[in-house]
């Protein structure tokens, strides 16, 4: 079966660091995406991992371990505008390479 | 165009009616996707077009749902005999090719009364 798990909600403090985890079980892995979605808006692309390791892009980094079926998104120097939902999506060979999406993690930033 | 556009932004209809939702992808993007998203959930795949053809329609929930992309650009999602359970935000996304970053439109919020 296919399953993407993320925490439902997390809270962090402005200026701090937060790590959002994603675990997945799919019939065939062909890449993992992280998207940011502000309330009432469309998802926007953050990162893509297909090989194990850490991809860094400014304040945001994403890590992948294919053997563990695990990824995390790391957000540094948190800003109030980072309050949003963060969606993990896996491209699944077993689903014609379509994206299988997690339910998203709602991140609340407090001053 | 600057990005993916969708019309209307909001659609309220009565149960049993027919609705059409439109998507204008980014110019030059051959791949186009339709998703629907319920509150607190991730997008649910509906259908994928490569050019004019529906390359994968395995996500369409039943035969009340149909989508077209006759000229390989604009796409229309058509829902017949709408039901209250069809209420959701319908998102369209496009990409240069399958597997590349998908760019999403703002969505159409469909409410079936």
The predicted-structure confidence for A7-66, as pLDDT tens digits, reads as follows 999 999 999 999 999 999 988 899 999 999 999 899 999 999 999 999 999 999 999 999
Ranges in chain B, pLDDT < 70: 1
Q: Considering only CA atoms, which of B51, B29, B33, B31 is closest in space to residue B43?
A: B33
Residue of A nearest to B5 (CA): A42
What pLDDT is recorded for position B1? 52
What pLDDT is recorded for position A1? 66
Is pLDDT of A99 > 80?
A: yes
Record: contact B40-A42, CB cut-off 8 A = no
Output the six-digit token pair for A86: 């963060």
What pLDDT is recorded for position A108? 98
Is pLDDT of A96 > 80?
A: no
What pLDDT is recorded for position A107? 98
CA–CA gap between residue B19 and residue B56 (Å, rounded): 22
A43, A47, A100, best to mutate vs chain B, most B CBs in 10 Å = A43
Question: What is the full DSSP assignment across A57-108?
Answer: ETTEEEEEETTTTEEEEEE-S--GGG-EEEEEEEEEGGGTTEEEE---EEEE
Record: contact A102-B42, CB cut-off 8 A = yes
Record: contact A4-B104, CB cut-off 8 A = no
The predicted-structure confidence for B76-90, as pLDDT tens digits, reads as follows 999 999 999 999 999
Record: contact B43-A96, CB cut-off 8 A = no
What pLDDT is recorded for position A92? 86
What secondary structure letter does DSSP report for A23? Answer: E
Question: What is the full DSSP assignment across B86-113?
Answer: G-EEEEEEEESSTTSPPEE---EEEEE-
- Contact list, A104 vs chain B (CB under 8 Å): 40-42
Q: What are phi and psi of B59, to 5 degrees?
A: -90, -10
Record: contact B101-A45, CB cut-off 8 A = yes
């Amino acid at each position: 079966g296919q399953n993407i798990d993320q925490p439902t909600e997390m809270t962090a403090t402005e200026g701090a660091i937060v790590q959002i985890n994603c675990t997945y079980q799919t019939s065939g892995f062909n890449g993992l995406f992280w998207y940011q979605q502000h309330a009432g808006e469309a998802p926007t692309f953050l990162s893509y991992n297909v090989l194990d390791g850490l991809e860094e892009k400014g304040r945001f980094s994403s890590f992948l371990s294919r053997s563990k079926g695990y990824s995390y998104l790391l957000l540094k120097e948190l800003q109030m505008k980072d309050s949003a939902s963060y969606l993990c999506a896996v491209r699944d060979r077993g689903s014609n390479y379509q994206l299988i999406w997690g339910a998203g993690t709602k991140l609340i930033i407090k001053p | 165009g600057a990005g993916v556009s969708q019309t209307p932004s909001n659609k309220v209809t009565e149960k049993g009616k027919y609705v059409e939702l439109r998507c204008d992808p980014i110019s030059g993007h051959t791949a186009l996707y339709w998703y629907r998203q319920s509150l607190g959930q991730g997008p649910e795949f509906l259908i994928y077009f490569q050019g004019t053809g529906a390359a994968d329609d395995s996500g369409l929930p039943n035969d009340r749902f149909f989508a077209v992309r006759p000229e390989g650009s604009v796409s229309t999602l058509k829902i017949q005999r709408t039901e209250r359970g069809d209420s959701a935000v319908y998102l369209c996304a496009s990409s240069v090719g399958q597997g590349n970053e998908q760019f999403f439109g703002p969505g159409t919020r469909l409410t079936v009364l």
